Each structure stands twice: as C-alpha cells, then as structure tokens.
Amino acid sequence: MPLYTYIACYKGRSHADQDRRSNYRGFAAIVLGRMPEGALPGLTSKSLRQEMVHKAFRSEWTLVSNRKNARRSARHAPSMLEILLFFI
C-alpha cells in the first residue's frame, strides 16, 4: 500500500498526517476525523468538520504542477480548507 501524507491547511494554519492506505480519498476523512482539537483553530464545530470530510471525499484532486506524486483538493469555500496529498 502507498504511504500518503496529507497536509490540511485552514486559515493560515496547517496539520499533517501520514499513513498507509489503499484509497487516498477515503483517508482524507480519516485525517480530518482524527485531527486533535485545536490543531486547526476555527475548525472546531462538529458539523463543519463533517462537511469538510464530505467535501474532501467528493472533491476533485488535481495534480500539483512541477511536483511528482502530489495532488491538491479544491479549496472549499467559504471555509477555504485545502488538503494537499503526497504519496510514494
């Protein structure tokens, strides 16, 4: 299984998580679900987290230009949560 590194960025703060999974879309939900309280200030509401998990799972993942094995999710307005994915 590939090793995935997720970096979630929200309001100028970031949180990284890493694990081996068979599906990078499904792991996005795990990353946001197991993120410690306060890791991303402002992303504390349970309903907001659930919304972000849903959007991260269904989001289009695009290649990051000039980077190998790197993708980024669409920015999710109005919250502007962005998730970057690196895998080997």
Domain chopping of the chain, boundaries = 3-87
Query: Would you mind telling me the total number of residues written for the chain in this entry?
Result: 88
Q: Which of 9, 59, 19 is nearest to 39 (CA)?
A: 9
Tell me the whole-structure pTM to 2 decimals. Answer: 0.70
> Residue 61's pLDDT band (boundaries 50, 70, 90)?
confident
Q: Of all helices (H) and strands (E), which one includes residue 10?
A: strand 3-10
How much is the average pLDDT of 28-54? 74
- How many other C-beta atoms can be found within 10 angstroms of the C-beta atom of residue 11? 12
Q: Tell me the residue type at 45.
A: S
Cα dihedral sign for 2, 18, 12, 73? positive
> Residue 15's pLDDT band (boundaries 50, 70, 90)?
confident
Higher confidence at residue 73 or residue 63?
A: 63
